[in-house]
Structures are given as C-alpha cells and as structure tokens.
Chains A and B, each alone.
Chain A
Amino acid sequence: MEQELAEKMGPLRQAVTEAAQRVLEAMCFADVTGAEGEDPGGDAFGVEVRFHGSENGLFRMWMNDAVACRLAADFLGLEEAGPEEGRQVALELANMICGSAVSHLSRSGALRLDPPRACAGTAPEGATRLALDAGVVAVTLDEFEGAEKHP
C-alpha cells in the first residue's frame, strides 16, 4: 500500500500527505477522509516552514479560518477557538507536519527548521488537498535543487 502510494504520488508528496494525516489525527483528533479534497476556500490563509540540512526546501499549508478554528479548538481542548488561536495553532501544525515529513525522508541526516510564518498566495494546483470534516487543508513540500547539504 505504501509503495503503491509512493509510485502514484511521488516520494515528496507521499511524505507530506502522510505527515499531515499523522499530525492532524494525533494532535487534533481530526478524521482525514480523503487526499483529494476541493480548495480551502476564499478566506484561506497560508503558512510556511523552510528547512535546511540534509534536506533543503519549503513546506506550505493553506486552510480557511473556519477550519483553523475547529482544529485549534480540538488541539487545545476548547469548545470553540477564535481566529487568533486558529492562526497560532496553524503555525504549530505546519511546524510539526514539516518536521515529521522531512524526518521521514531523511532519518539519519541533520535537520533545522526555521520558525513557521504566514505566507501570501493560494494553494497551487499540485497541492495535496486533505478533506476533513471541518473543511480542506492543502499542503505542499518542495525541495530546493543545489542547496547546500550538510552530512
């Protein structure tokens, strides 16, 4: 099954899809119902994490405020969460998804993640769109060619 998924999606996309599922299910108790959802919606915002070391690249994630608030409430154990809490939790989720995906790609190498931050733009066509009960989360993972690599 894992090999089938890798052949179909490519290793980077498979790694980030599986990492997003792991993080959303473990930390937010979210039920990821599919990996081919629709766009996150008009008010979607983006967050990004750059990583350096044995792998170099950029992780990005998009979701709308409603999804962020739902995930934040579940993450923090609250009945409801506001947009600010939603954005804060989205940053932490991005950090975890990126770290988890890249660690799986390179388990023996050194790795450093920059602090997560907001990013402009919308999810590109090639992004993985994860369907949750609360809406859609889109993610991408891109490696930089020719970047400095450390042993």
Chain B
Amino acid sequence: MSISVLVVDDSSAMRAFIRRVFMLSGVEIAEYHQAGNGKEALSVLEGHWVDLILTDINMPVMDGEEFLARLRQDELYKDIPVIVVSTDGTEHRMQRLIALGAKDYVSKPFAPETLRSGVERVLGV
C-alpha cells in the first residue's frame, strides 16, 4: 500500500524527523507534502490529494485546532484522517482535538514505533 501524506509543523526539524520515521517504518510513501502552518496546509491541499494528515497544534498564522476545524467543515477534506502530533499532552487538549475530529493523538516525544503504529491504526493497514 502506498500513501500520500501531508505533514504540518512549523519546525522544519520535526518535519524532517517525521519523514525519517516514515522512511524507516516500511509504510510506502507515494507523495510527502509539507506545510509550516494550517494556512499553508490548506494551500497544499488545493493542489494535491492526500490520504493522511499529521499536524502539530502550536503554530503561527493558523494553528492546528483551526486547521482541523476548517477541514471538518469542508466537504472535500472532511473525511481525510488526521493524526495530531504535539508537545501538549494534557488531557484537556487531547479531548478537545478528538472532539474536533482528530483520529489519533501522539504526544512528543514519541518513539518511531509509536507514530508508525498510530498511522497503521488510523489507515487500517
């Protein structure tokens, strides 16, 4: 199975780390798209279809909560599974994001296996 992924994080280092995790995971990536915030991510989605979105929460311009809310309001994007990858591991935040429609929540720091199993669980692979 080959998937297209969009990773949304204002840290270029974290985007590179997640890409590395995918390369090591055995999940075949057909296209790997990146964005530095929710607004950039919406622009990426205008030109590319993706099977999975991984997004941070604390980002400038448009944060992860607003990005998630925008996705869920859009007929075209509302069913794309989203995994939140964030430093904020409080229950308050996790519950809020799951209520907004996130499929899974991975707290940083995480072991590569944790992210891989989250991706596999969400995609059913």
A residues in contact (CB < 8 Å) with B: 22-23, 26-27, 54, 72, 75-77, 85, 88-89, 91-92, 95-96, 98-100, 103-104, 106-113, 115
B118 to chain A, nearest CB (A): 15
Residue on A with the closest CB to B21? A77
Contact A26 B87 (CB under 8 A): no
Contact B93 A96 (CB under 8 A): no
Contact A113 B87 (CB under 8 A): yes
Q: Contacts A99-B87, A103-B89, A107-B91; is A85 near B13 (CB within 8 Å)? A: yes
Contact B110 A76 (CB under 8 A): no
- B window 63-114: CB within 8 A of A: 86-93, 107-111
Chain B residues within 8 Å of A89, by CB: 13
Contact B89 A107 (CB under 8 A): yes
Chain B residues within 8 Å of A92, by CB: 11, 13-14, 17
Contact A103 B88 (CB under 8 A): yes
We find that the number of chain B residues with CB closer than 8 angstroms to chain A is 23
Residue on B with the closest CB to A108? B91
Chain B residues within 8 Å of A106, by CB: 90
Could you show 14 A-B contacts with beta carbons less than 8 Å apart? A22-B109, A23-B108, A26-B109, A75-B13, A75-B17, A89-B13, A95-B108, A96-B109, A100-B109, A103-B89, A107-B90, A109-B90, A111-B88, A115-B60
B12 interface residue per 8 A CB criterion: yes
B residues in contact (CB < 8 Å) with A: 10-14, 16-17, 20, 58, 60, 86-93, 107-111
Of B60, B90, B107, B111, most buried by chain A (CB within 10 Å of CB) is B90
Known contacts A103-B107, A110-B93, A111-B93; 6 additional CB pairs below 8 A are A26-B111, A89-B13, A92-B14, A99-B89, A99-B108, A115-B60
Chain B residues within 8 Å of A99, by CB: 86-89, 107-108
Chain B residues within 8 Å of A107, by CB: 89-91
Alpha-carbon gap, A8 to B14, bound state (A): 34
Q: Contacts A27-B17, A76-B16, A99-B108; is A88 near B92 (CB within 8 Å)? A: no
